[in-house]
A = this chain, B = another copy of it.
Amino acid sequence: MQKKNSVYIATSLDGRIADRNDGIAWLDAIPIPEGEDMGYYAFTNEIDALVMGRNTFETVLGFDVEWPYQKPVYVLSNQLKEIPESHQGKAFLVNGTLTEVLEQIHSQGHTRLYIDGGSTIQSFLKEDLIDEMIITTFPIVLGGGPSLFGEFPKELQFELVESKVFFGQLVQNHFVRKRG
């Protein structure tokens, strides 16, 4: 079974995933036509499960919306004791090294994973565990806030497989890790 760890995320022109107050209102600066999802549905259709950190999980819980995921969500956390009762059966706690975590998840038959959340993506990149990235760039320089990328021990060469422009303003690039 194909194993693949994928990222699908939006960043500012300066590579940030949130503004200096951890806000994402800047994503609304570009009006997105109703019904246009920029390939998100097609992307999530090809994944078995999500992997995110506690921060992202709790942020999503905090949104005043229905639980947005159709697929199992694995929450990486050494701090969290258990998933809130309301979300049991939908979200699952995992911990250990990333290799251990991936073994646990793969053993459930979930091999095509959507890796989400800034610090989780960075942890995966640090260990060269990201296989593809779909990054949509918004034409704004935020000047502050958390960056998608950080400091990594080695260079990672990717290959561009597709580049699309949405609404004349958003550039979505699809990169696949080029190994060996």
Contacts and interface: CB of A to CB of B under 8 A. Distances in A.
A73 to B, nearest CB: 26
Given A14-B15, A137-B173, A153 B143 contact: yes
A154 interface: yes
Contact of A142 (B140, B141, B155): B155
Copies assembled: 2
Given A15-B14, A171-B171, A175-B13, A139 B160 contact: yes
Contacts of A29: 157
A170 B175 CA distance: 11
Interface in A87-142: 125, 135, 137, 139-142
Nearest to A153: B143
Contact of A171 (B141, B163, B168, B169): B163
Nearest to A158: B139
A173 B168 CA distance: 11
Interface stretch (A36-44, A53-61, A74-82, A144-152): A144-152
B160 A141 contact: no
Interface of A: 13-15, 19, 26, 29, 125, 135, 137, 139-144, 147-160, 163, 165, 168-171, 173, 175, 178
